[in-house]
Structure 1
């Protein structure tokens, strides 16, 4: 059934509000695309990194803000990646329990929205928030904050406005296990007038020199249909060698390729002896002693918050210990610029938790219907913060 939007969205330049913005992966993607953004972040270290990078930032708890606040009055794109730890598929099934719990809250929120829209009394958002505050792990409830922002934007005028202004575009991103939450979001978003699309992506298919899977939800209100980015590169398979072209796509980007791109454009970058092999801190195949290995002519394995524990050894001489990854190199494997100014505490965790900016460029380009990003965007990201000649 087609639903006519009750409030036509404001057409014009895009402005992004990024909830749970972290050290700035998605905001940096927006910057190189020329799109203004403001991020909300409560971690002091990530805030310090964002400020050093010159990213517009509102420090604090997402729960204490809303779309009616003055600083977000022009934002017509809602983005974010709420904490995901309670949805892990590992362990004793708590992730499944959390999903069932969140699904129930999503429907309670939808009922609240419908009552507010109809001017009826009943359970309020404050009632729902009090119930969320009683959960054993507050992060479970944080995944609902983007939906609260969506509903509030549709119910109440923005700062200085006369009528509610729904977000024109929604972009949400998290670990693969959260795709089930995004599918529940889709049901509600479609019921209130959004067109939606959600999928789990492999970031190496978008030029990120790392095998990393992410669940993305895109929604559009009263305009073009929701679009997800088409892959531009090949999927990495364990043990595979790069193929120049396969299925019309270029090969994935290896760690060596990513570092060579940096060396060509950043004179002060510290050169690493290649080839090399990264030996994971984690076991493989269920055996804690069988450490995963990835040679430098392949994409990096997923950069987690524990990447600094990985060993670097020679390819032909595995007994030869080499310098471990620097934060600049780990950032490059996340597709951040080499010069990105990591600050504050837990920098390894900041890097591991961040949205890969180059993946963010592809997602935003598709979600905002900007067309495929060109080489000039990649150059801006590599050379950041220098201006192009």
Structure 2
């Protein structure tokens, strides 16, 4: 890695899905933090694994286990040897369960909902050229949109001497090469005076000028059998015969009435990978061909995490890191647009990003040769 790449600092980094994608686009993470110990271990060990494999991810990053509420922006700048205003991109997604349609939607009444204010505070202290704020799409509508408007107003002016121009996108990961339906709101702020007009889609269910949606079948290509020692995070739960029988009778796309999870369909994108409650962690969906819940590694495949990115912790910790993450391939498209349109820096190609992220199983060589045309608005069939 060279030290002249555009720089990135991230908060609420979790399993590093956002960092992986932004780095695949051409950014370099200097600092990443999370309050969760196992997430930080995932990032540290993943960085070491990346360096050994000649990959760029978190190779020069300081990974810090810390609570953003007690983090000072100046301390972060001192650690990465930068001055206020010199960082290119600051990224993060404050915990989203309090805004999620899957949760109780307590919003700012939930302490997790108040962490967006801490993001704003650190944003004002670091003053990056661009920021990325990610959250669930439920943020748009809770309290009739008033919470969203309040957050946007704070992001526009995080300190008296700063003004960011905001671009708001509602993105579904399935339109960006990810074999999963995952609806998110992305706020990109720029102090360069420009707005981000578009984050071009790559895949579509209906637009023939784009590539087709990626499916569960494609996401699972090349994955060894469940329980294989060749890969980590790939051991499933032990089910009783009663549950096995119930799962065995589910049709693709059908929901189990007891566990309230769906059987995946091999020929469609996965349902959203969810986290679950603070008490128990998330559950995977039902495997498309076997009467069991998917493993954490199979869920990671649906999120486009590379197989070499191993999640630390036991039982619930990996699936929480995976379920909370931004899919790296989606993050790549966000980073690509930021580099090209806001920072005037040529991003890494989609094909190169796919190789670095270990997602070549999702695309044929012919498709990869067409993606650059798709992103530039040229029909894929040309």
What TM-score do you get using the length of structure 1 for normalisation?
0.67
- CA contact under 8 A between 2:120 and 2:154: conserved in structure 1? no
- Please list every run of 5 or more consecutive structure 2 residues that lacks an aligned counterpart in the other structure: 48-57, 225-229, 235-249, 277-281, 341-345, 361-382
Instruction: Tell me whether 1:32 sits opposite 2:2 in the alignment.
Output: no
Mapping for residues 370-385 of structure 1, pairs under 5 Å: 370=346, 373-382=349-358
Deviations 1:32-84 (A, max 9, x none): 23422121111011111111101331111112212211124433311100012
What TM-score do you get using the length of structure 2 for normalisation?
0.68
Mapping for residues 14-53 of structure 1, pairs under 5 Å: 14-37=6-29, 38-53=31-46
Q: What's the CA shift for 1:205?
A: 0.2
- Quickly say closer, same or farther: Cα 1:58–1:278, change in 2 above 3 A: farther
- Quickly say closer, same or farther: Cα 1:289–1:36, change in 2 above 3 A: closer
Q: What's the CA shift for 1:248?
A: 1.0
- CA contact under 8 A between 1:281 and 1:309: conserved in structure 2? no
**1:67 & 1:362 partners in 2: Cα distance?**
27
3-state SS of paired residue (1:198): strand
- CA contact under 8 A between 1:189 and 1:195: conserved in structure 2? no
Q: What's the CA shift for 1:203?
A: 0.6
Larger-Rg structure: 1
Q: Structure 2 residue aligned with 1:139, among 94, 103, 112?
A: 112
Deviations 1:109-154 (A, max 9, x none): xxxxxxxxxxxxxxxxxxxxxxxxxxx642121111121122224x
3-state SS of paired residue (1:344): coil
Q: What's the CA shift for 1:326?
A: 2.3
Q: What's the CA shift for 1:178?
A: 2.0
- CA contact under 8 A between 2:24 and 2:348: conserved in structure 1? no
Aligned residues: 296
Deviations 1:311-355 (A, max 9, x none): 3354xxxxxx44542222210100101221111141111111111
**1:189 & 1:312 partners in 2: Cα distance?**
41
- CA contact under 8 A between 1:78 and 1:169: conserved in structure 2? yes
3-state SS of paired residue (2:190): strand
- Please list every run of 5 or more consecutive structure 1 residues that lacks an aligned counterpart in the other structure: 1-11, 99-135, 154-165, 236-242, 315-320, 385-389
- CA contact under 8 A between 1:330 and 1:351: conserved in structure 2? yes
Q: Structure 2 residue aligned with 1:187, among 153, 177, 182?
A: 153
- CA contact under 8 A between 1:19 and 1:40: conserved in structure 2? yes
2:175 corresponds in structure 1 to 205
Instruction: Tell me whether 1:88 sits opposite 2:111 in the alignment.
Output: no
- Quickly say closer, same or farther: Cα 1:280–1:23, change in 2 above 3 A: farther
**1:303 & 1:53 partners in 2: Cα distance?**
21
Moved more, 250-259 or 69-78: 69-78
Instruction: Tell me whether 1:64 sits opposite 2:70 in the alignment.
Output: yes
- CA contact under 8 A between 1:279 and 1:310: conserved in structure 2? no
3-state SS of paired residue (1:152): helix
Q: CA RMSD in A?
A: 3.2
- Quickly say closer, same or farther: Cα 1:224–1:93, change in 2 above 3 A: closer
1:258 corresponds in structure 2 to 219
- CA contact under 8 A between 2:95 and 2:112: conserved in structure 1? yes
- CA contact under 8 A between 1:252 and 1:299: conserved in structure 2? yes
- Quickly say closer, same or farther: Cα 1:230–1:188, change in 2 above 3 A: same
- Quickly say closer, same or farther: Cα 1:233–1:298, change in 2 above 3 A: same
Instruction: Tell me whether 1:177 sits opposite 2:125 in the alignment.
Output: no
**1:90 & 1:323 partners in 2: Cα distance?**
23
Q: Structure 1 residue aligned with 2:287, among 312, 316, 340?
A: 312
Moved more, 64-73 or 292-301: 64-73
Q: What's the CA shift for 1:226?
A: 2.8
Q: Structure 2 residue aligned with 1:225, among 195, 199, 212?
A: 195
Q: What's the CA shift for 1:22?
A: 0.4
Instruction: Tell me whether 1:343 sits opposite 2:312 in the alignment.
Output: yes
Mapping for residues 284-363 of structure 1, pairs under 5 Å: 292-305=262-275, 308-312=283-287, 314=289, 321-322=290-291, 324-345=293-314, 346-363=317-334
**2:359 & 2:202 partners in 1: Cα distance?**
22
**1:190 & 1:309 partners in 2: Cα distance?**
37
Deviations 1:153-199 (A, max 9, x none): 4xxxxxxxxxxxx3100101111122345543433444543221112
